[in-house]
């Protein structure tokens, strides 16, 4: 949630340059797991309905204009892309051209902005 507002701003600023998609994956800090004080209270998802509801809650708190997909309970997307708790990718013509570091410490929206700014100038 901490990076979501800034992500929304990037999607707005570069909507003419790129299409954005957010994939909601397993909750990083569930109340029945590694909870953080003051964080949004969401327990580990036991059903797809719970995961979908959590994704909707995220959107209620920070509306996005881009499509939001929800990973399966088997966490296929998360496993494939190493995205827990968060990660940024840029895919161009089916090829990954930017793979950001794993969040939260290596989640760097500034690098994505820089890449998109260069691409926009081409």
pLDDT attached to residue 56: 93
Model confidence pLDDT, tens digit, residues 43-66 = 677 899 999 999 998 899 889 999
Phi, psi dihedrals of residue 54, rounded to the nearest 5° = -65, -40
Mention every residue, 6+ apart, whose C-beta is less than 8 A from residue 11: 20, 64, 65, 66
Kindly give, in sequence order, each residue whose CB lies less than 8 Å from that of residue 57, ignoring residues fewer than 6 positions away. Answer: 40, 42
CATH code of the domain in which 101 resides: 3.40.30.10
Length of the chain: 122
Q: How far apart are CA 34 and CA 12, in angstroms?
A: 32
Paired strand residues for 96: 91
What's the CA gap between 35 and 55, in Å, rounded?
18
How many domains does one find in the chain? 1
Q: List, in sequence order, every beta strand (DSSP E) within 40-101.
A: 68-70, 89-92, 95-99
At 122 the pLDDT is 77
Q: Is the dihedral of CA 10, 90, 99, 40 positive or negative?
A: positive
Q: What gap in Å lies between CA 36 and CA 41, rounded to an integer?
A: 9
Show the domain range for 39: 4-120
Confidence at residue 35, expressed as pLDDT on a 0 to 100 scale = 47
Give per-10-residue mean pLDDT for the chain (122 aa): 84 94 79 57 81 91 93 93 89 95 88 94 79
Q: Supply the pTM of this predicted model.
A: 0.81
């Amino acid at each position: 949630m901490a990076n979501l507002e800034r992500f929304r701003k990037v999607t707005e600023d570069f909507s003419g340059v790129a299409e954005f998609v957010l994939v909601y994956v397993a909750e990083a800090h569930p109340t029945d797991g590694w909870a953080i004080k003051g964080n949004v209270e969401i327990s580990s998802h036991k059903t797809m309905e719970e995961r979908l509801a959590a994704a909707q809650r995220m959107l209620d708190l920070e509306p996005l204009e881009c499509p939001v997909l929800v990973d399966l309970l088997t966490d296929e997307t998360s496993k494939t892309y190493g995205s827990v708790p968060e990660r940024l990718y840029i895919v161009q013509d089916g090829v990954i051209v930017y793979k950001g570091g794993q969040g939260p410490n290596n989640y760097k929206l500034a690098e994505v902005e820089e890449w998109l700014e260069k691409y926009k100038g081409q």
